[in-house]
Amino acid sequence: MQKAVRIGTIFLILVLPATMVFAGGAAEEDVEWPQRDVRYVIPYAPGGLSDVTGRLIERTVREEGLLDDVSFVITNIEGASAGNAMVEVRDAAPDGHLLLHHHTSFISHVAMGVRDWGYEEFTPIAMLFEVPQAAFTLPGKYDSLEDWIEYVRANPGDTTFAGSSLGGGTHLMAEMMLGSAGIRDDLHYVAHGGGGPMTAAIYAEEDEMALTQLPTVLSDHLSGDLEIVAVSSGERVPSLPDVPTFDELGLEVPLQTSHRMGVWGPPNMPQELVDQISAFFERVVNTDTFQRLADENGLFVRYEDGETLRRAFEQDEEIILGLVEEFGLN
């Protein structure tokens, strides 16, 4: 179990009361994490990738008993293409009790002009997993993604393509896929503000085809309520052996994984605290419970520490900026 953890190097200079020590030459109380409930902020509406996967983490923490005496609380703060949640966490105290569950859209939002600041404003804590995209529709609507592409070509301007938001990783992936298929100018891209509303639009037949992160629709596909017709990953997803990849369909998409999910904190968090929280999330994603949930939801678990997360985002930023320039999305 995760106990409250003392952080910092302690240098005892004199015999002092048990509640006081000298750390780095200055007197301060022992620091423990967590001291109260941890709020884990989801920057989108319920039902999308961030919400689904954030709740998988909460479920794992709860079922595995990884925290004593405090709760790990999911908090949805939606709006402004994740901006409202970002501001809330950025401006919070750097004590590790308000954390952000966010992904590569940090980069694409800046690259596509949604805002002019992103991941560099936060403390990177841990990378958790990577997520492929899935193109989906209602069962029986089209025989395949190729069938839908042919329909769009034959009926330019008559249909729409649904996404969760403007400027995010899914939007960028959609532009790449539609561009490779040669139908980018033959339809209208509709952003619904979150994975839940986007899926609802497909059920209501407001849109005929959509692209989203695989975990958002995998359970609906397996239940027969929706049909996934292609995935962006380099290889077929084990739980979807009959679903082809974009590459198999001849769609050249430079990014196979558009979302790396990470844990981020407010700026200026002490490194000792970051290390303790990072180790906590490493335990979470390596439990049997989370490994099983990841398999069931199409997640590729990849724990890395905060510094590795930062370097990965710097590399992704260079690629994404080039793609946005290429597709004229800036």
Task: State the CATH number of the domain containing residue 89.
Answer: 3.40.190.150
Residues 108 and 185 both lie in one domain: no
Closest CA to 265 of 100, 109, 138, 110: 100
More confident residue, 297 or 100: 100
Q: Residue 83 falls within a domain, yes or no?
A: yes
Mean pLDDT, rounded, for 175-202 = 91
Q: List, for residues 97-113, the tens digit of each pLDDT value.
A: 999 999 998 998 898 88
Residues 163 and 199 both lie in one domain: yes
Residues 113 and 151 both lie in one domain: no
Residues 71 and 170 both lie in one domain: no
Q: Residue 13 falls within a domain, yes or no?
A: no
Query: Does the predicted model carry a pTM greater than 0.85?
Result: no
Give the Cα separation of 202 and 56 in Å (integer): 24
Q: Residue 8 falls within a domain, yes or no?
A: no
The last residue of a domain, from among 203, 219, 249: 249
Collect all residues with Cβ–Cβ distance below 8 Å to 67 and sequence separation of at least 6: 1, 2, 34, 38, 61
Residues 265 and 229 both lie in one domain: no
Cβ–Cβ < 8 Å for 75, 42: yes
pLDDT of 328: 75
What is the average pLDDT score of the chain?
Answer: 88
The last residue of a domain, from among 187, 216, 249: 249
Write the DSSP symbol of residue 265.
E
pLDDT > 70 fraction of the chain, expressed in percent and rounded: 89
Residues 155 and 206 both lie in one domain: yes
Give the Cα separation of 222 and 30 in Å (integer): 50
Q: Report the domain count for the chain.
A: 2
Residues 211 and 305 both lie in one domain: no
Residues 138 and 127 both lie in one domain: no
User: Could you give the dihedral angle defined by the CA atoms of residues 110, 116, 122 and 125, in that order, rounded to the nearest 10 degrees?
Assistant: 10
pLDDT of 6: 42
Give the Cα separation of 213 and 298 in Å (integer): 9
Q: Residue 126 falls within a domain, yes or no?
A: yes
Q: Residue 3 falls within a domain, yes or no?
A: no
For residue 219, what are its two tokens?
């359970």
Cβ–Cβ < 8 Å for 261, 15: no
Mean pLDDT, rounded, for 160-178 = 85
pLDDT of 25: 37
Give the Cα separation of 257 and 193 in Å (integer): 21
**CATH code where residue 181 lies:** 3.40.190.10
CA–CA distances in Å: residue 178 to residues 205, 211, 327: 20, 11, 11
Residues 167 and 267 both lie in one domain: no
More confident residue, 196 or 99: 99
SS3 86: helix
Residues 262 and 235 both lie in one domain: no
pLDDT of 326: 80
Mean pLDDT, rounded, for 29-58 = 90
Give the Cα separation of 163 and 58 in Å (integer): 26
Of 182-196, 264-278, 305-319, the poorest mean pLDDT is in 182-196
Q: Residue 140 falls within a domain, yes or no?
A: yes
Residues 222 and 323 both lie in one domain: no
SS3 208: coil
pLDDT of 257: 66
Q: Residue 7 falls within a domain, yes or no?
A: no
Closest CA to 108 of 99, 100, 118: 118
The last residue of a domain, from among 249, 270, 288: 249
For residue 280, what are its two tokens?
């906590």
More confident residue, 238 or 58: 58
| Residue-range definition of the domain harbouring residue 50 | 20-131+257-327
Residues 262 and 304 both lie in one domain: yes
pLDDT level of residue 93 (50, 70, 90 thresholds): very high
pLDDT of 264: 98
Give the Cα separation of 101 and 70 in Å (integer): 19
Q: List, for residues 224-279, the tens digit of each pLDDT value.
A: 999 999 999 888 888 899 999 999 999 988 776 668 999 999 999 999 999 999 99
Of 23-32, 116-125, 201-210, the poorest mean pLDDT is in 23-32
Q: Residue 6 falls within a domain, yes or no?
A: no
